[in-house]
Structure 1
Amino acid sequence: MKHKTLQFNSNIIAAKIRMCVYGSILVSSMVSPLAQAADFSSSYQAYQQAVAAKDVEQTLVYAQQAFDLGKVSFGEHHIDTAKLLMNLANVQRDSGDNVSASQNYDKVLASYLAHYGEDSLEVLDPMLLAAESTTNDKKAQALFEDAINVAKSLNEPLVLAEVYTAAFKHLYKTTEYNHTIKNYGLKAYDIYSKHLPEDAILRVDATYLAASIQFAEKQYDAAERLFLEVIKQYQALDYSHPSELHAHAVLVELYEKQNNSQQATAHCIAIGKMKPWSDDQDQVPLFRHHPNYPKSYAIDRKQGWVDMAFTIDVNGFVKSASVIDSKGGKRFEKESLEAIQKWRYAPKFVDGNPVEAQAKVRLDFTIANG
């Protein structure tokens, strides 16, 4: 029986918006043919060649040079100058200069807003990049909210779903995370479910995200249904996708919480039978349960760590865990040993077959100041 193939080419909005927040693509927007200066043309051509060669250092040099010369050729407030500045900001971000990148994305956004208007499709790209690059969580949230409002005004559901997804993935890691942000991930899933087939990769990824949200919210029935849907779709591949492995691992925990060991074991066995994305991949952590902080130690503000060694079996279970060394007290050791038994891994594979493997880990017990 021939398996269906996931629709990995369902880039619905690629022709409408370049969502470069999802990658490190340095491909430039086309600049105006009005650029006649030979020095600018040479710099821009050198920039494109550096991009093609994936030479970040040279790309940064020529992106800066092309922007400086383009600003003279086009004028400081010309939209092509803003596009050249966005190229520069992209390279700065990828080279680790996040401060300069953030400042330049803000300038690009201001130019785009002035040129295209507040409710235009074009402003979404720099708006999302500005939100992603800032270290100010409140500013990021405000920019994402603006982007959501722009997407809503366009009446393009799939564009809105992309923005919801970008907002959730960034903001859930920040201090601004709340019920509204949680719902961004669920709303993206709802949109994709209505507008894309089950095997479209954007929908499958959104299903996985929604399942993870529901599991974190202890909505276990909804999480189970969604994780099973993820597994079903990724089974069409000729290798095991990391999200499929994680779905199995979370379902192991979910069924154990429900005292349903039979179903939990079935998913453990499924992990061991999977085809890895590399024939010789090392074990990959899929689920980690944090140890409880001993209450008496927390009251006394006692801190420490525990080094452990253990074996990961062919089904991704931890066994034979032992303490190598520790600091802080026996209770840290006890909680660490109990927690690590609940960890799940994709097993180590050799020549495409799962094998037992040894691993070590340190668990830190720290109390934040304040």
Structure 2
Amino acid sequence: MKNNTFQFNSHILAAKIKMCVYGSILVSSLVSPMAQAADFSSSYQAYQQAVAAKDVEQTLVHAQQAYDLGKVSFGENHIDTAKLLMNLANAQRDSGENLLASQNYDKVLTRYLAHYGDDSIEVLDPMLLAAESTTNDKKSKALFEDAIEVAQSLNQPLVLAEVYSAAFKHLYKTPLYNNTIKNYGLKAYDIYSQHLPEDSILRVDATYLAASIQFAQKRYDTAEGLFLEVIKQYQTLDYSHPSELHAHAVLVELYEKQNNSQQATAHCIAIGKMKPWSDDQEQVPLFRHHPSYPKSYAIDRKSGWVEMVFTIDENGFVKAASVSDSQGGKRFETESLEAIQKWRYAPKFVDGNPVEAQAKVRLEFTIANG
């Protein structure tokens, strides 16, 4: 959903100007409506130019000027003034002035509700922006619930899917996350899959979210199909999309959990092609098998660490692992070497081909206090 942007209404200003200018009469003690109109038009055009240039600092300056002049031209409570205030709030948000932005989104929402009504599509933009900008999780959840109710009343499935998606993306990161919020993500996917083609970016994004939800719920068969669909669609791009990279990584973990290393290998190689190694980059494993803590050491509350060097082969398997240094005892070394054999990595690529490469890792063994 695109944010509403203020459109300069020359007819409204012309009417105001016409009432105030008669012949050659000059009122030197006041700023003329014609001058106000010219100032506003100049400020708003400067705002639009700053937005187009992605100049955050100047966008904020001219958004503030346009809003201040708009209040004079249209009046404090005019709907066009509210649209100017939303532009200002957007600029404040982008500049990091989050508290001011949140307060202004609330003001905009109040004016939109009064002007358009509770169940109009126009209220959704400020309602969602207010929900996303507040630091009060309960208020955010209530605003999203209101937005969902409005969207449901519109009988426009794609609008409803967008609201569901926005609510899920924001609320899943909060302590309020529950099955209802989880289902927002799944409902968005259901709607998009019914109404949009497979290669629609909105549908692919929703598919990725649904796959992640299913994986977290340990519904691995469903998650597998959804992640494979994400990969299929993003492979058509001429660059590596982060969601495609993550889909491959999750499938490596999924297949290794199912002891299906052969299928995991294809995705290890795919990641290696997407995100090539650099010589100074410490490789992050795609799948870890955690070492067991030796029982006798745990009883004695003994801690330690083990550093290992090893080779990652062309398929992302670990081989030729050895201990380069350690502290705490031989049992830590034994458990570490056993565990590292089960780890999976993305292989290194040179000139388009996977090659063996050296890597290292340090495993810590500690007993939590208490």
Q: Give, in whole Å, the separation in 2 of the partners of 1:334 and 1:103.
A: 58
Aligned to 1:6: none
Q: Which runs of 4+ in 1 moved over 4 A?
A: 277-294, 303-326, 328-367
CA contact (8 A) 1:79 1:115 kept: yes
Structure 1 segments unaligned to the other structure (5+ residues) = 1-16, 21-26
Which amino acid is the alignment partner of residue 189 of structure 2? Y
Between Structure 1 and Structure 2, how many residues are aligned? 343
1:65-105 per-position Cα deviation (integer Å, ceiling 9, x unaligned):
11111111100100111111111111110111110010001
Aligned to 2:171: 171
Aligned to 1:62: 62
1:90-139 per-position Cα deviation (integer Å, ceiling 9, x unaligned):
11101111100100011111111111111111111111111110101111
Aligned to 1:229: 229
SS at match of 1:176: coil
Aligned to 1:76: 76
Q: Give, in whole Å, the separation in 1 of the partners of 2:145 and 2:362.
A: 40
Q: Give, in whole Å, the separation in 2 of the partners of 1:268 and 1:169.
A: 28
Which amino acid is the alignment partner of residue 28 of structure 1? T
Aligned to 2:125: 125
Aligned to 1:204: 204
What is the deviation of 1:310? 8.4
Between 1 and 2, higher relative CO (CA 8 Å, sep ≥ 6) is seen in 1
Q: Give, in whole Å, the separation in 1 of the partners of 2:95 and 2:103.
A: 15
Aligned to 1:248: 248
More helix per residue: 2
Aligned to 1:30: 7
Which amino acid is the alignment partner of residue 8 of structure 2? V
Which amino acid is the alignment partner of residue 41 of structure 1? S
Mark the CA change 1:89 to 1:279 in structure 2 (over 3 Å): closer, same or farther: farther
Structure 2 segments unaligned to the other structure (5+ residues) = 14-35
Aligned to 1:134: 134
CA contact (8 A) 2:269 2:346 kept: no
Mark the CA change 1:38 to 1:293 in structure 2 (over 3 Å): closer, same or farther: farther
CA contact (8 A) 2:44 2:66 kept: yes
Aligned to 2:156: 156
What is the deviation of 1:189? 0.7
SS at match of 2:135: coil
Q: Give, in whole Å, the separation in 1 of the partners of 2:48 and 2:314.
A: 47
Mark the CA change 1:134 to 1:305 in structure 2 (over 3 Å): closer, same or farther: farther
Mark the CA change 1:68 to 1:247 in structure 2 (over 3 Å): closer, same or farther: same
Which amino acid is the alignment partner of residue 217 of structure 1? Q
What is the deviation of 1:174? 0.3
1:268-326 per-position Cα deviation (integer Å, ceiling 9, x unaligned):
23333x4x3899897896957697998x999xxxx999999988776566786989999
What is the deviation of 1:349? 6.2
CA contact (8 A) 2:8 2:41 kept: no
- Structure with higher Rg: it is 2
TM norm structure 2: 0.75
Aligned to 1:95: 95
Across the aligned residues of Structure 1 and Structure 2, the Cα RMSD in angstroms comes to 4.4
1:257 has 2:234 as partner: no
Report sequence identity in percent. Answer: 75
Which amino acid is the alignment partner of residue 267 of structure 1? H
Mark the CA change 1:147 to 1:322 in structure 2 (over 3 Å): closer, same or farther: farther
Q: Give, in whole Å, the separation in 2 of the partners of 1:86 and 1:146.
A: 19
TM norm structure 1: 0.75
SS at match of 2:237: coil
Mark the CA change 1:146 to 1:284 in structure 2 (over 3 Å): closer, same or farther: farther
What is the deviation of 1:161? 0.7
1:244-278 per-position Cα deviation (integer Å, ceiling 9, x unaligned):
22222111111111122222223223333x4x389
Mark the CA change 1:323 to 1:113 in structure 2 (over 3 Å): closer, same or farther: farther
What is the deviation of 1:61? 1.2
Q: Give, in whole Å, the separation in 1 of the partners of 2:66 and 2:195.
A: 41
Aligned to 1:23: none
CA contact (8 A) 2:161 2:187 kept: yes
Which amino acid is the alignment partner of residue 264 of structure 1? A
Aligned to 2:114: 114
- 5 Å matches for 1:260-279? 260-272=260-272, 274=273, 276=274
CA contact (8 A) 1:248 1:267 kept: yes
What is the deviation of 1:345? 6.3
SS at match of 1:259: coil
Q: Give, in whole Å, the separation in 2 of the partners of 1:88 and 1:363.
A: 50
Range that drifts further, 281-290 or 234-243: 281-290
Q: Give, in whole Å, the separation in 1 of the partners of 2:275 and 2:71.
A: 46
Mark the CA change 1:99 to 1:254 in structure 2 (over 3 Å): closer, same or farther: same
